[in-house]
Amino acid sequence: IPVEIFATPKDGAKHVAETIASLIKEKSATGQNCVLGLATGSTPIYIYDELVRLHKEEGLSFKNVITFNLDEYFPIEKSATQSYWYFMHHHLFDHVDIAPENIHIPDGSLPKEKVKEFCANYEKQIEEAGGIDLQILGIGDNGHIGFNEPGSSFNSKTRLQVLENKTRIANSREFQNNITLVPRLSITMGIGTIMRSKKVVLVAWSNKAPIIVKAVEGPVTEQVPASILQQHPNASFVIDEPGASELT
């Protein structure tokens, strides 16, 4: 699997933003929509900063962009500052010209009995949009992509998933460092959903070095969900130099 190594996270993020921008422009030139799969968390923030800059300073338009986010906590209100709905609007959507009806984020505020139907419809909406052209991923310390924790089936679809305690501890920084405030569940695209994307870029910085080496060089196993990307025809990793420190 190709690994692109950059001196700093900012350099790597700029490269990913440029990849996204070229695809948006290429699709727009032929009158097509550009379907993006998006991630949240600390890793992609610089990517969104750069996309906002490209919109404001260089006229990059998001009018032909359709987005599907990977995941959302469950339960959570959209207005909660920890929600991924809030994150995406705060870091990207509020600052560009994307049509609100083109934004798709798993809904963490649904009653539980509605989730199954929502997930099936999410899969259908992705399909009807023509599939995801480019999926951006981060990676958890345990190798999760989206919130597909170790043990998730490689064929999994969008569904309710129990979060590992490790994940809840890692993410408690957004919840006053109090793990009891972190939701126990999430709605996440499945690994099968991610694998159907035409192109995948996994982004990770320095602190992820130990899991990056497992995902890139280790065996393909459901115990390291990101390792399946080794079998994707068009996936790559974008990392910084410290993140590459354990690669052979």
Longest dimension (CA), the chain: 49
Nearer to ligand F6R, 41 or 183 (CB): 41
Query: How many CA atoms are closer than 13 Å to the CA of 150, on its beta-carbon side?
Result: 15
CB of 57: closest distance to ligand F6R in angstroms? 26
Write out the residues near ligand F6R by the rule CB under 6 A.
39-43, 70-71, 138-140, 144-146
Can 142 be counted among the known catalytic residues? yes
186: nearest Cα among 201, 204, 168: 168
Whole-angstrom distance, CA of residue 238 vs CA of residue 16? 8
Place of tokens 């509020």: 94
The DSSP letter of residue 14 is: H
Residue 195, SS3 per DSSP: helix
CB 80 → ligand F6R: shortest distance, Å?
15
Active-site choice (50, 144, 148, 174): 144
Please state, in angstroms and rounded to a whole number, the distance separating the CA atoms of residues 241 and 80. Answer: 35
Give the list of residues 6+ apart from residue 59 with CB closer than 8 angstroms, or none. none
Residue 144 falls in the annotated catalytic set: yes
Residue from 142, 164, 217, 246 carrying the catalytic annotation: 142
| Distance separating alpha carbons of residues 216 and 214, to the nearest angstrom | 6
- 165 counts as catalytic: no
Q: Which is nearer to ligand F6R, 40 or 197 (CB)?
A: 40
Q: Would you tell me how many other CB atoms lie within 10 Å of the CB of residue 155? A: 10
CB 136, min distance to ligand F6R, A: 9
Q: Which residue, 133 or 149, has its beta carbon nearer to ligand F6R?
A: 149
Least Å from the CB of residue 32 to ligand F6R:
26
Q: Which residues are catalytic?
A: 71, 142, 144, 149
